[in-house]
Amino acid sequence: MKAALRSRFETFLEEPKRLLYLALVGFLSFWVLRGCMPGKGLPAEVSETIEKTYITCISSYDTPIEPGVDRQPECGKALVEMTSEGVVPAPEQAAGVTRAICYRLRVESPRWQTTGQTRHEVLWSERTYDKVTILENGEWRTFQDEDAMDEQRWLEYGCPGAYASG
């Protein structure tokens, strides 16, 4: 067995083109098969809802610097840092909940620094949320701006790690 493996290895070393082709076929196979497997990310509907809810923008029309001088618009970011499956309790299953996904959301938002009525510069703030989204009767539900309930849902659906918000 060892001799056969050593013989094949030596053959590949003697023919670098064959080794290159084999590596290329292996990479392409991995790349194609990776696309066929379900990901651990959030469903598209949930990602769209997060973007619509949490991403804020400062328009270039909010404060002109001088007449005729344009200011660059600034938009925030919503980054999902980790996802995992939660455990749906029996009472929730009876109510039509079939899946729960736990995720940590980091939101970066722009805001104006003001002095009196004058806006001076764009400042950035960041906040982290631990959230749960559920699939209830075939539709994904997300829960925005419910900090007190988010912790309860995090524990109820058996999400990994300690709840963090702030």
Residue with tokens 């066929």: 36
Query: The domain containing residue 20 runs over which residues?
Result: 2-35
3-class state of residue 110 by DSSP: strand
Q: How far apart are CA 76 and CA 79, in angstroms?
A: 10
In this structure, the number of other CB atoms found within 10 A of the CB of residue 53 comes to 14
pLDDT for res 28: 74
Measured between alpha carbons, how far apart are the two ends of the chain, in Å?
Answer: 58
pTM: 0.66
Do 111 and 65 fall within a single domain?
A: yes
> For the chain (length 166 residues), average pLDDT per consecutive 10?
74 72 74 58 87 84 63 82 86 92 91 73 86 93 83 91 78
Distances (CA, A) of 127 to 39, 99, 105, 110: 26, 26, 8, 12
Q: Rounded to 5 degrees, what are φ and ψ at 8? A: -65, -45
Q: How far apart are CA 162 and CA 166, in angstroms?
A: 13
pLDDT for res 3: 76
Do 101 and 64 fall within a single domain?
A: yes
Please count the structural domains in the chain. Answer: 2
In the structure encoding, which two tokens stand for residue 42, read together? 């959030």
User: Is 164 a domain residue?
Assistant: no
Do 19 and 83 fall within a single domain?
A: no
* Cβ atoms of 80 and 41 closer than 8 Å: yes
User: Is 163 a domain residue?
Assistant: no
Do 109 and 58 fall within a single domain?
A: yes
Do 81 and 146 fall within a single domain?
A: yes
